[in-house]
Amino acid sequence: MRERRSFRAQFRGQSRKFDGRRKQNDRRAFRFSDGPVILYGWHTVTAALTNPARRIRRLLMTENAARRLAEESIRPSIAPEIVRPDAIARLLPPDAVHQGLYAEADPLPAPPVEELPPTGIVLVLDQITDPHNVGAILRTAAAFAVSAIVTTARHSPETTGVLAKSASGALELVPVVLVQNLARALAALKERGFLLVGLDSSGEQDLATVPLRTPLALVLGAEGKGLRQLTRTTCDYVARLSLPGEIKSLNVSNATALALYIATERRS
C-alpha cells in the first residue's frame, strides 16, 4: 500500500478525473473516423508520446502503464487520466488489446506526393482496404526504411484505431500521403524520376529479374482484385514474386516484406 500511495503522488495535481461510465450500446465510442486519431496499445502510444510531431489531445492510462512509463523515462506532454482498464476498454471495439494505454491525437502532417524526395523506396497502395494489412505494411515499411506510403483518400482505411495498433508504432515513422487520384500520383512520381514497379501474381517478369533502381515506387494492389487496369498501364514494369511452393500468392503484407527484401538486396 505504501508503494501505491507513493506512485499516485507522482500524478497528484496532474491527472484529471475521468468518468469511465458509458452505455454499452453507445456506438459513438467505436466510430474512429468521427473524431481525432485513436491510438491504443503500448508500442503505438509510446511511439506517439516520443514523437515531437505528434500532438496528443487526451491520454488515458492505468496505474501499471503509468508506472512502466515512469520506469522507461517516457514523459507525456499532457497530464494523463489515471483510469481502470475497463474504462479504456469501453472506448474501444470488443477484443481490442490496449495494454493500459489510450490516446487521442491530431493527424500527423505529410508532404504532398509532388514534394516527396526522389530517393529511396516509396510504397503505393492501390485500394488496399483492410486496416490490419495496411498496419502490417506500415510496420514492414519502417523496418526497411521506406520513405513514404502513398494511398488513396477513398477506398483505404484511416490511420487510426486498428490500423495504428497493427502498425505497432510505425505510423510515427513512415509518412502516409493521401491522394485523390492514384494515376495522377503515379504520374507525379514518374516525373520526379521514380521507377514504377507494380506487383501482381500475373506479372510478366519475376521481380528478381527486373532492373531495379532508386528512386523506386513499389505499387501494391488489393488482395483478390490486384492492381487496377489504369494502375497497371501507368507502371514501368508489372512483376510477380516467384515462389517455389504450390501456393503462388501471398497475403499483401507478406508480399510487401518479400518485395522490399528483394529490392533492398538488389540495390546493395
Q: Does residue 252 sit in helix, strand or coil?
A: helix
CA 261 to mean position of chain CA atoms:
19
Residue with cell string 487521442: 104
Instruction: Check pLDDT > 60 for residue 263.
Output: yes
Q: Please provide the average confidence, as pLDDT, over all residues in the chain.
A: 87
* Topology of domain 2-105, CATH: 60s Ribosomal Protein L30; Chain: A; (3.30.1330)
pLDDT at residue 12, as a whole number: 38
Structural element, H or E, at residue 191: helix 182-191
pLDDT at residue 222, as a whole number: 86
Instruction: Check pLDDT > 80 for residue 256.
Output: yes
CATH 3.40.1280.10-classified regions of the chain: 113-267
pLDDT digits (tens, 9 = 90+) for 163-181: 999 999 999 999 999 999 9
Q: Does residue 162 sit in helix, strand or coil?
A: helix
pLDDT band, residue 201 (cuts 50/70/90): confident
Cis peptide leading into 215, omega within 30 of 0? yes
The grid coordinates of residue 19 equal: 468518468
More confident residue, 218 or 26: 218
Q: How far apart are CA 162 and CA 188, in angstroms?
A: 30
Residue type, 69: L
pLDDT digits (tens, 9 = 90+) for 151-160: 999 889 999 9
Closest C-alpha to 183, from 230, 127, 125: 230
Q: Is residue 99 a contact partner of residue 88, using CB atoms and an 8 Å limit?
A: no
By percentage, how much of the chain surpasses pLDDT 90? 76
Asked which of 23-37, 84-98, 143-157, 220-234 is least confident by mean pLDDT, the reply is: 23-37
pLDDT at residue 90, as a whole number: 95
- What angle separates helix 42-49 from helix 63-71, to the nearest 10 degrees? 50
Q: Does residue 82 sit in helix, strand or coil?
A: strand
pLDDT digits (tens, 9 = 90+) for 40-77: 999 999 999 999 999 999 999 999 999 999 999 999 99
pLDDT at residue 267, as a whole number: 67
DSSP state of 115: G
Instruction: Check pLDDT > 50 for residue 38.
Output: yes
pLDDT digits (tens, 9 = 90+) for 12-31: 334 444 444 333 333 333 33
Tell me the whole-structure pTM to 2 decimals.
0.84
pLDDT at residue 268, as a whole number: 54
Instruction: Check pLDDT > 50 for residue 11.
Output: no
Classify domain 113-267 at the CATH superfamily level: SPOUT methyltransferase, trefoil knot domain (3.40.1280.10)
More confident residue, 32 or 195: 195
Handedness of CA 73, 76, 79, 81 (dihedral sign): negative
Q: How far apart are CA 94 and CA 136, in angstroms?
A: 20
Using a 10 angstrom Cβ sphere, with 0-12 exposed, 13-18 middle and 19 or more buried, the burial of residue 19 is exposed
CATH 3.30.1330-classified regions of the chain: 2-105
Q: How far apart are CA 238 and CA 25, in angstroms?
A: 47
Instruction: Check pLDDT > 60 for residue 78.
Output: yes
Q: What are phi and psi of 195, to 5 degrees?
A: -85, 125
